[in-house]
Amino acid sequence: MAKVVFNHWLHRSQFTCRVCHVDIGFFMKQGETRLTAADNMRGYYCGACHNGTKQNFAPPVFKACSTPPNPEEMSRCDRCHSFGKDVKKKYEFAEFTEKMPKAALGNGVDWEKAETAGLITLQDNLQGLPIIKKMPIQKDFSLDSKGSWMGDILFSHKKHAKWNGCELCHPDIFLGVSRGATKYNMFQIYEGEYCGVCHLNVAFPLKDCAKCHVNPVD
């Protein structure tokens, strides 16, 4: 089988991060989730949605692996096992994002604005998975940047909770017991820790300094 190609941009335009990285349990590091065809067939990982039956979607999402496959199923396999193949996609990035607000860096889309403007609607729960009780959202706050030449950092709990829930960050990335309890700096962020877990390669990139280092909020 050809290697699987997963287009993160399409999936993040349909679901919150926490559906996949908390409820379904994908690691937030490429290649770390050691999933198999058997897992998918049992309804885990990709198979939690790609099961060919009605999820929250209409029409139902095409099924993941079947082993051994029937010959007539082979074109479906190619939709995921597409590395190095010329497979026709249902969604092309350029076309899909044409009308979305633009960002200079990253993949060129301002996802925050796209979501606020209602251009994308994120599902936060899947049928058949337990619904997590929502916790009250914490106040937004600013973190002061110890390098005095950079502006303080705005951090919006409200916006982050919309995408990430609480469990994606607490307690694994930030202990979150009280502000300041976790000490970290820009170097660690560049190494892919703390804010860098997401802002290195999925959320807007670290090069966009001014998006974080802005004036403080109340």
Q: Identify residues 60-119 at the interface with ligand HEC (CB under 6 A).
A: 61, 64-67, 69, 73, 76-77, 79-81, 89-91, 111-112
By CB under 6 A, the count of residues binding ligand HEC is 104
Among 30, 71, 86, 99, binds ligand HEC (CB under 6 A): 30
Among 98, 121, 146, 218, binds ligand HEC (CB under 6 A): 146
CB closer to ligand HEC out of 99 and 121: 121
CB 44 within 8 A of CB 126: no
Residues in the chain, overall count: 218
User: In the range 147-186, which residues lie near ligand HEC by CB under 6 A?
Assistant: 147, 150, 153-157, 159-161, 163-164, 166, 168-170, 173-174, 176, 178-182, 185-186
Residue 79 Cβ vs ligand HEC, minimum distance, rounded to whole Å: 5
Among 85, 127, 207, 217, binds ligand HEC (CB under 6 A): 207
Among 8, 54, 85, 102, binds ligand HEC (CB under 6 A): 8
Nearest to 24 by CA among 2, 57, 50, 3: 50
Which are the contacts of 74, defined by CB distance < 8 A and separation ≥ 6?
none
- Asked whether the CA dihedral 143, 146, 152, 154 is positive or negative, the reply is negative
CB closer to ligand HEC out of 49 and 97: 49
Nearest to 109 by CA among 6, 202, 206: 202
Q: How far is CA 207 from the centre of its chain?
A: 19
Among 20, 22, 51, 97, binds ligand HEC (CB under 6 A): 20
Quick check: 13 binds ligand HEC (CB under 6 A)?
no
165 sits in the region (left: phi over 0; alpha: psi -120 to 50; else beta) called: left
Quick check: 19 binds ligand HEC (CB under 6 A)?
yes
Contacts within 8 Å (CB) and 24+ apart, 67-70? 67/37, 67/38, 67/41
Among 28, 100, 119, 132, binds ligand HEC (CB under 6 A): 28
